[in-house]
Amino acid sequence: MSSERPLLGSLAERLGILSSYWDLTGQQRVTSDATREALLAALHIDASDEAHAAAALARLDAEQAARWIDPVLVWREHEDSIPRVPVRVPADADAAEWRLELHAENGPVAVAEGRVADLIVDRSAGSEVQLSLPARPPLGYHEVRFFLEGSGVSYGGVQRFVMAPWTALPVAEKLAGRRAFGLWTNLYTVRGNAGQGVGDLSDLGELLAWCAEAGGAFVGVNPLHAVANRGLAITPYSPSSRLFRNVLMLDVEAVPELAACGEARARLVEPGFQQQLAALRAAATIDHGAVLDAKLAVLRLLHACFRRAGAAAPRAADFAQFRAREGTALEDFATWEVLAEHFGAPGAPACDWRHWPAPYRDPRAPAVAEFRRTQGAEVEFRAWLQFELDAQLARASARGRDAGLAIGVYQDLAVGSAPDSADTWMAQDLVAHGATVGAPPDDYAPDGQNWGFPPLDPHRLRADGYRLWSRLLRANLAHAGALRIDHAMGLQRLFWIPDGQPGHAGAYVKSRFDEMLGVLALESRRAGALIIAEDLGTVPEAFRAQLADWSILSSAVVYFERADGVHRPAATYPIDALATVQTHDLVPLAGHADGADLRIRRRAGQLPDDDALMRALAARADEHRALLDRLRADGLLPADGEVDAAALARAVHRFLAATRSVLVAASLDDLAFETEPVNVPGISVERHRSWSRRMTRTLATLRRDPVVQEILAELHARTA
């Protein structure tokens, strides 16, 4: 640990701020004292000088000494063992009696008790002892209560006890030992048969049915998280909430209330509205705000019809149950949406809750409660939208399941939420204010990447018993057969950058990886869903082995499976992995050789001049040549001659099918010969409007395409 301030260094180390890391070039980067101080401030700790650092260390020691039982314990299931709970007792409590209560989730209370004197060996100081639970609880979330009474001591403490399975749901159990293939896409880019300028949940149902017909097992999609869809707030990876979903994904014509709502049906057939829809459908890019306005215009009418029907509405009871199930989080999210609209246009400073009038910055404040009361109809509308999103996703998922898909919908969980989001408003105490998440310097971003959203405080997350983590998982596993964890390394350590500093000034901050994985495994089993880690790039030593130990699948991307410029043979790909050609951050196959993404980077200024572009294009040509060399060496392409987009797509997907990976997925963009990426990392939306490019071909056209049919048939034959 290198630090000119030893107490600062000790404090940072104790709170999980790593003293150094190794970058992609093999260079060790040491965390500066300035970075330590700034990141500790984000963790709500003043370490501005050694005196403050000493006081903070003393405070941590005192808090630990006074904490007789940890706020959470994640116990990984063993076949025969009874879980044991560490408790601490004071040195002068030998005459006291202890009592341990296990309040099982949805179950009975079991009790164990005894004398402290029988537990403590060395009574010269407070001791930690292991108390066996009075019963072996089933998998789930339980509550342990610990009491001391007597000898002048009276104490009680509560712990959230998580009984985690030995592993997440294994792929062999889900697929009965078989391999499987699927499709993946950025759903909003899809051109369905109708729609309103964006791919929606009805299109997802079509995709699931098509995949089943082709013999596949799943359809993967980008995060369906709620997004403001205004101004620059359009990325699904920096959402307004990871607990709730994006209204753009709704198919307004699939809302059940439409059948009895004459106003909404009339609006849909108005000539002006039809003209607006035609323009949105024909556009090459998504106008997020215009699409949102068009959908809301109809959805408001549908909700008004639903509301007028009152308790007699066919789905009134279902909505009431949904609202009760989602509880405070849904009410807060719906309220935040109304407040954000009330205080200003999204993207403007007034829309950022951190700039709202002070009485509205706290979701529990009286002013917010009064606002919710006076705006009850609008708050209900926002909650009703989430109800319909859940219902449409459930119907799409059921369509795939009924068609025979072994996995079904494969969803995606983003790393975090936007700094001005509903999530950060709702969980302010759990957010590390004063830092943002990013990535260290690499070839694409020499100064590092700043992703712009704040991290969660791992210590406060743990102190709260990982309730937010488990809720996030449940929300994103709903109606899913698999869940991809974006930047899964963040479960172990996340790269924090102090506000206002470049990426190279950041440092890694650790979480309790074992506990995060235990909760993840429990939610995987409860949902009957696979977990797939996005573990690309340089990851800590033994990271992938730990994932495998928990039956969490890895990611293998053809573009990256190279060593010393040579593509790895298919037979060397990892078995317990999802193999794909590319990702949402990479250029589709048809644009790889031409460097379509590199030309975007030049236009956006990420490549500083034409010489840099030429060098990047030359490097890309070498990469593409290496890919062709592998395909030719495996007999998947002729030994020489030009390779068109169709031949390349056939060959690469045959290669993909020949890998050992238990899951393989074909991108719709690759099947459609798209050339431009949906996202170019490290470039702001102002400079290049990522997340807006639509597909050039419709789903119906792709389903009839003989090349696409041939590729899917090959994938089915080789993975069946």
User: pLDDT, tens digit, for every residue of 682-718?
Assistant: 888 999 999 999 999 999 999 999 999 999 999 999 9
Sign of torsion, CA 665 669 673 679? negative
Helix (H) or strand (E) holding 532: strand 530-533
One domain, residues 22 and 87: no
Per residue in 255-280, is it b (16+ CB within 10 Å) or e — as a string?
bebbeebeebeebbeeeeeeebbeeb
Q: How many CB atoms are located within 10 Å of the residue 251 CB?
A: 22
Taking residues 249-275, report their average pLDDT.
97
**Domain span at residue 130?**
78-164
Q: DSSP state, 584?
A: T
- Please answer whether residues 697 and 672 qualify as being in contact, where contact means their C-beta atoms are separated by less than 8 angstroms: yes
Last residue of a domain, which of 27, 45, 66? Answer: 66
Question: Is 13 strand, coil or helix?
Answer: helix
Q: How many CB atoms are located within 10 Å of the residue 254 CB?
A: 17
In a domain? residue 54: yes
Q: Is residue 347 predicted with pLDDT exceeding 50?
A: no
Last residue of a domain, which of 164, 186, 215? Answer: 164
CATH number at residue 135: 2.60.40
Helix (H) and strand (E) counts in the chain:
22, 25
Q: Is residue 380 predicted with pLDDT exceeding 90?
A: yes
Question: Is 567 strand, coil or helix?
Answer: strand
Q: Which pLDDT value is given to residue 444?
A: 64
Choice between 88 and 436, residue whose per-residue pLDDT is larger: 436
Per-residue pLDDT band for 376 (boundaries 50, 70, 90) equals: very high
Q: Which pLDDT value is given to residue 125?
A: 52
User: pLDDT, tens digit, for every residue of 592-648?
Assistant: 999 999 999 999 999 999 999 999 999 999 999 999 999 999 999 999 888 999 999
Read off the amino acid at residue 678.
Answer: V
| Residue corresponding to tokens 């999530």 | 423
One domain, residues 82 and 159: yes
C-alpha distances (whole Å) from 561 to each of 54, 503, 504, 556, 623 are 48, 26, 27, 7, 11
One domain, residues 111 and 148: yes
User: pLDDT, tens digit, for every residue of 214-228?
Assistant: 999 999 999 999 999
Q: Is residue 128 predicted with pLDDT exceeding 90?
A: no
For a pLDDT cut of 90, what percent of the chain falls above it? 85
Question: Is 420 strand, coil or helix?
Answer: coil
* Token representation of residue 270: 């108005």
The residues, any chain, with a CB within 8 Å of residue 81's CB and separated by 6 or more, are none
| Residue corresponding to tokens 């399941």 | 401
| Residue corresponding to tokens 């031949």 | 647
Helix (H) or strand (E) holding 103: strand 97-103
Q: Which pLDDT value is given to residue 345?
A: 59
The residues, any chain, with a CB within 8 Å of residue 378's CB and separated by 6 or more, are 338
One domain, residues 105 and 39: no
One domain, residues 46 and 96: no
One domain, residues 159 and 99: yes
Residue 552 CA to residue 514 CA, distance in Å, equals 13
Question: How many structural domains are present in the chain?
Answer: 2
Residue 196 CA to residue 505 CA, distance in Å, equals 44
Helix (H) or strand (E) holding 147: strand 140-150
Per-residue pLDDT band for 26 (boundaries 50, 70, 90) equals: confident
Q: DSSP state, 138?
A: P
Tell which residue, 691, 656, 652, 649, has the closest CA to residue 674.
649
Give the mean pLDDT of the chain: 94
List the alpha helices (DSSP H) in 403-466. Answer: 422-426, 458-463
| Residue corresponding to tokens 């059940």 | 256
In a domain? residue 52: yes
Question: Is 696 strand, coil or helix?
Answer: coil
Residue 352 CA to residue 334 CA, distance in Å, equals 15
In a domain? residue 31: yes
Tell which residue, 54, 382, 406, 348, has the closest CA to residue 230.
348
Q: Is residue 153 predicted with pLDDT exceeding 70?
A: no
Q: Is residue 443 predicted with pLDDT exceeding 90?
A: no
In terms of DSSP bridges, do strands 225-226 and 241-245 run parallel, antiparallel, or are they unpaired? Answer: antiparallel
In a domain? residue 265: no
Residue 10 CA to residue 80 CA, distance in Å, equals 40
Q: Is residue 560 predicted with pLDDT exceeding 60?
A: yes
Residue 384 CA to residue 382 CA, distance in Å, equals 5
Taking residues 75-79, report their average pLDDT.
86
One domain, residues 36 and 100: no
One domain, residues 91 and 159: yes
In a domain? residue 28: yes
Residue 4 CA to residue 32 CA, distance in Å, equals 9
In a domain? residue 56: yes
Question: Is 479 strand, coil or helix?
Answer: coil
In a domain? residue 586: no
Q: How many CB atoms are located within 10 Å of the residue 384 CB?
A: 22
One domain, residues 62 and 84: no
One domain, residues 30 and 88: no
User: Reduced to 3 DSSP states, what percent helix, strand and coil does the chain have, rounded to the nearest 5?
Assistant: 45, 20, 35
Per-residue pLDDT band for 4 (boundaries 50, 70, 90) equals: confident
For a pLDDT cut of 70, what percent of the chain falls above it? 97
The residues, any chain, with a CB within 8 Å of residue 627's CB and separated by 6 or more, are 558, 559, 567, 592, 652
- Please answer whether residues 646 and 707 qualify as being in contact, where contact means their C-beta atoms are separated by less than 8 angstroms: yes
One domain, residues 86 and 160: yes
Taking residues 206-218, report their average pLDDT.
98
Maximum separation of any 2 CA atoms in the chain, in Å: 89
In a domain? residue 596: no
| Residue corresponding to tokens 């009075």 | 134
Last residue of a domain, which of 107, 141, 164? Answer: 164
| Residue corresponding to tokens 């943002």 | 436
Question: Is 112 strand, coil or helix?
Answer: strand
In terms of DSSP bridges, do strands 408-413 and 482-485 run parallel, antiparallel, or are they unpaired? Answer: parallel
Taking residues 263-284, report their average pLDDT.
96
In terms of DSSP bridges, do strands 180-185 and 218-221 run parallel, antiparallel, or are they unpaired? Answer: parallel
Taking residues 84-112, report their average pLDDT.
89
| Full-model pTM | 0.96
One domain, residues 43 and 86: no
Q: Which pLDDT value is given to residue 124?
A: 52
